[in-house]
Amino acid sequence: LNEDRDYARELFTALIPLKKMWGGLATTRIAEDEEILDLMVASGCVFLLLGFESVAQSSLDRMGKRFNRTQNYAQVAAALHQRGIIIQGCFIFGLDDDTPEVFDETVAVVNDLRIDIPRYALYTPYPETRAFDRLKQEGRLLHEHWEHYDTQHVVIQPHGMTPEELDAGFIRAYRETFRLKSILHRTRQARQFAIAFVGNLAYRRYVSRLEKDPNARAKV
């Protein structure tokens, strides 16, 4: 949303008289532009998906997402929450700099920042990408069952832990994040509480299915 400022301003201005509620995707840089943020709110924006990706700056630098600065995450969350925008924050586990501590560290950040609807993914290299070629050359692909290359199944040998540790930590992070106490802590102050709370309940159900998926666990 914030990569073409002139277009964004024109679009949001055109949306204002339509009195619609809408959501979209943006980078964390959206918080740097207060004028555009205010215009988004005036146009009816109530939800944004942001790719925070990692709580470790070294991981962000390695993936080429240097414009994400972990020290600015609190500022980003505050800027959106002050305007009543629900944040769906996405984080990736299994990056090369990740250690077993990353799961608890990420859950703590999610709760501290009150990320309204968190989403976790497992590092998944897709065919015909540089990441896939590199990991295949390093002998770190566990298999090539493409139906499991969906960011929710462990398909690689991670660098800083075992596949089993990655799988268990991923599940634990989801479980801890979507405990009812955690959900209420993160959403009770949301201006659009109903949307945030229902979104969390949907993920809570998803976690239950993920834990019971024998096919997913068997592939580790």
Q: pLDDT of 14-62, one tens digit each? A: 999 999 999 999 999 999 999 999 999 999 999 999 999 999 999 999 9
pLDDT at 153: 93
* Residue 210 banded pLDDT, cuts 50, 70, 90: confident
Q: How far apart are CA 25 and CA 217, in angstroms?
A: 31
Handedness of CA 210, 99, 57, 109 (dihedral sign): positive
Phi then psi for residue 22, to 5 deg, are -150, 165
pLDDT score of 113 more than 70:
yes
Within 10 angstroms of residue 53's Cβ, the number of other Cβ atoms is: 19
pLDDT at 61: 93
Note the pLDDT tens digit of each residue in 138-154.
Answer: 999 999 999 999 999 99
* Residue 92 banded pLDDT, cuts 50, 70, 90: very high
pLDDT at 217: 52
Helix 193-211 / helix 163-177 crossing angle, nearest 10 deg: 140
Return the percentage of the chain with pLDDT > 90, whole number.
Answer: 89
Q: In the block, which residue shows the tokens 């009812």?
A: 180
